[in-house]
Amino acid sequence: MSTPLLPIEFADLEQFAEKWCLPSETERYDQRLNSTMTDMQRFYDAIAARAEDALTYCDKFSIDDMPEDAKHLMHLLYSMIQVSFPIEVWRQPRIPDTGSASLTCVIEPSL
Amino acid sequence: MARWPKPAEGSWTQHYPELGTAPMSYEDSISPEFFELERDAIFKRAWLNVGRIEQLPRTGSYFTKEIHAAHSSIILVRDRDGSVNAFHNICRHRGNKLVWNEFPREETSGTCRQFTCKYHGWRYGLDGSLTFVQQEGEFFDLDKDNLGLARVHCEVWSGFIFVNLAAQPRQTLREFLGPMVTGLEGYPFGELTERYSYRAEVGANWKLYLDAFQEFYHAPILHGKQTPDNFSVAAQQAGFEAPHYQLDGPHRLVSTSGVVTWELDAAMRKPMEDITRSGLFGPWDVPDLGPMPAGLNPAGCEPWGLDSFQLWPNFTILIWSGGWYLTYQYWPTSHNTHIFEGNLYFTPARTPRDRVAHEMAAVTFKEYGLQDSSTLEATQLMLESRAVTTFQLNDQEILLRHLHKVAADWVGDYQRERTEAKR
């Protein structure tokens, strides 16, 4: 078995880590566009229920000095935000009627 | 029934009688000829914001800026004395682009001690002076002292770096900005250094995207499905009204009252807003930025939502009451294409929880931004059909009227001057 990406306290979310622990907004957005609603709903339900625990866990660390597994957890939280729009609002991965529009994140704060 | 008092003249539009109330033409957004005139009349004469001082943190820090509309590429660099220099990005030897990386058309940034041309190795100091010529003895009467990089006028206001491509700008930057914009002085822009930057290539005239963000009449409709049903129904029934519009020279301002998201009924919010304590209006935990400058919230709204300052020609500073701000830039590449740049600026996150709240605001901005830009290509296509040539604008769209009038005025002035010069 491969090394877990997430802190042991979040072993229940490990099944989503490989797919959703993505360090850049572009990767997270692309993953969203390439995922099914069923997959995203499963991920959303699982992480939204643990979000407060995850935020509390990450808050134990300084933002400039987070261990790798906590960083992965942050990336998972960012993916939670990313999929929340298809799940809570659009009922589809892409925003309706935006096929010819793009908005690429070229700089984001480091973590 | 108006929720906010209108000016005595009866409407915001009539308060500025030079705007008129007639239907508007969008010929200025579909005519290749008009765009060719805008290059010289506007983009080679106005002060253009190219970035912020934080992008040049130390001696030798530089970035390049492509200004297609003016057929220019500019180098911005921090000199040894701390000042910012701007130069045309062209080598004095045979005209090669001096600073680029892999792709000559793309912008780049970094830190260096000097600039070296990739072609024949000519070198320039951070002050633009020509410091080295390969095989100097092979040249004829070479006067290195007069072969420094071609300088571009550059001034910094509140940390924003502006350039002016005119041989001699008609106004200093401060004169150009005028009292409405300089009323923002004192806002702690320099403390909001955590930045998200977005970029898009848009299939529409640059002014059409400015239009999309300088009226909020569209918000309850275009963005209606982005909020829970009872919120969007309420928003649609209420429509949109701003309490304050203001024009100053070529610049514009719309100020709006606010919604305190966390005081709304929970059913009005998305679950993710409660989880992250953040959303479109920004993080709920507002940083203490101290007293705000006099030029903000001119209508004295309580609660206040945002002020959107549109600086002529292509730069917007949008300040949210929640202690963060956005900038937008629109860089034309042809009469029906442009590059949009959107930046979000926050105070640096103190905790991972803060950072997650910033991420929520940034991702939400993108969801809205994609919706805003999605209609632009559709609008451009149909305007170009010229099937309809005059368009109705309401009082909440006063700023659009002003933008297109200023574009026409600048192009008109330029044409007149050119005609007079020929006499």
Chain segment B325-345, per-residue pLDDT in tens = 999 999 999 999 999 999 999
Query: Among residues A74, A108, A68, which one has the least CA distance to residue B353?
Result: A74
Whether A46 contacts chain B with CB within 8 A: no
**The residue to which tokens 């571009």 are assigned:** B152
Average pLDDT, chain B: 94
Q: And the tokens for A56?
A: 């509390």
Q: Is the pLDDT of residue B414 over 90?
A: yes
Pairwise CB contact (< 8 Å): A81 & B359: yes
pLDDT band at B308 (very low <50, low <70, confident <90, very high): very high
Q: The domain B7-33+186-415: what is its CATH number?
A: 3.90.380.10
Provide mean pLDDT across the span B55-66: 98
The answer for residues whose C-beta is within 8 angstroms of residue B204's C-beta and 6 or more apart is: B29, B336, B337, B338, B376, B377, B379, B380
Residue found by looking up tokens 């880590």 in the block = A17
Interface check A106 vs B, CB under 8 A: yes
pLDDT of residue B220: 75
pLDDT tier for residue B242 given thresholds of 50, 70 and 90: confident
- What pLDDT shows up at residue B1? 47
The nearest CA of chain B is from the CA of A106 a distance in Å of 6
Q: What is the mean pLDDT of residues A61-78?
A: 97
Q: Using the beta-carbon criterion (under 8 Å), do B197 and A105 form an inter-chain contact?
A: yes
Mean pLDDT lowest among B34-38, B99-103, B227-231? B227-231
Which chain A residue has the Cα nearest residue B348?
Answer: A109
Question: Nearest CA to B313 among B189, B195, B214, B419?
Answer: B214
Rounded to an integer, the average pLDDT of B370-387 is 93
Per-residue confidence band for B409, with pLDDT thresholds at 50, 70 and 90: very high
What is the Cα–Cα distance from A18 to B122, expressed in whole angstroms? 49
What is the average pLDDT across B233-247? 80
Would you say residue B113 has pLDDT above 60?
yes
Mean pLDDT of A7-14: 98
Q: What is the mean pLDDT of residues B117-123?
A: 97
pLDDT at B261: 62
Query: Are B303 and B321 contacting, i.e. CB atoms less than 8 angstroms apart?
Result: yes
> Is A1's pLDDT higher than 90?
no
Decide: B275 and B356 in contact? Cβ < 8 Å. no
pLDDT of residue B213: 85
Residue B194: its chain A contacts at CB < 8 A? 109
User: Is 90 exceeded by the pLDDT of residue A63?
Assistant: yes
Its ipTM equals: 0.98
DSSP string, A35-103: S-HHHHHHHHHHHHHHHHHHHHHHTTS-TTS--HHHHHHHHHHHHHHHHHHIIIIISSSSPTT-TT---
Of the listed ranges A46-60, B225-239, B261-275, the least confidently predicted one is: B225-239
Instruction: In whole angstroms, give the CA distance from residue B25 to residue B392.
Output: 9
Domains B7-33+186-415 and B48-164 share a fold: no
Tokens 């069923």 sit at which residue? A38
For B101, phi then psi, to 5°, come to -140, 115
Residues in chain B: 423
Mutate to test the interface with B, among A64, A95, A111 (most CBs of B within 10 A): A95
Whether the Cβ atoms of residue B225 and residue B232 lie closer than 8 Å to each other: yes
Residue B379 has pLDDT above 80, yes or no: yes
Q: Percent of chain B, pLDDT > 90?
A: 85
> pLDDT at position B38, please?
98
Fold exhibited by the domain B48-164: Rieske Iron-sulfur Protein (2.102.10)
Of B271, B351, B370, Cβ closest to residue A95: B370
**Cα distance between the two ends of chain A:** 27
pLDDT score of A38 more than 50: yes
Interface contact flag, A78 B370, Cβ < 8 Å: no
> Whose CA is closest to B151, among B71, B73, B81, B85?
B85
Residue B235 binned pLDDT confidence (cut-offs 50, 70, 90): low
Residue B2: pLDDT over 80: no
- B38 vs B44: CA distance, rounded Å: 9
Q: What is the 3-state secondary structure (H, E, C) of B5-57?
A: CCCCCCCHHHHCHHHCCCCECCHHHCCHHHHHHHHHHHHCCCCEEEEEHHHCC
Residue of B nearest to A52 (CA): B275
| pLDDT greater than 70 at residue B393 | yes
Dihedral angle over CA of B210, B216, B220, B226, nearest 10 = 50
Strand B115-116's sheet: what is its strand order? Answer: B115-116, B123-124, B130-132
Model pLDDT, residue B240: 76
CA-nearest of B309, B248, B403, B332 to B38 is: B332
Q: What is the pLDDT of residue B263?
A: 65
User: Can you read off the two tokens belonging to residue B392?
Assistant: 């109705």
Structural contact between residues B131 and B113, judged by C-beta atoms closer than 8 angstroms: no
Give me the residue spans of the domains in chain B: 7-33+186-415, 48-164
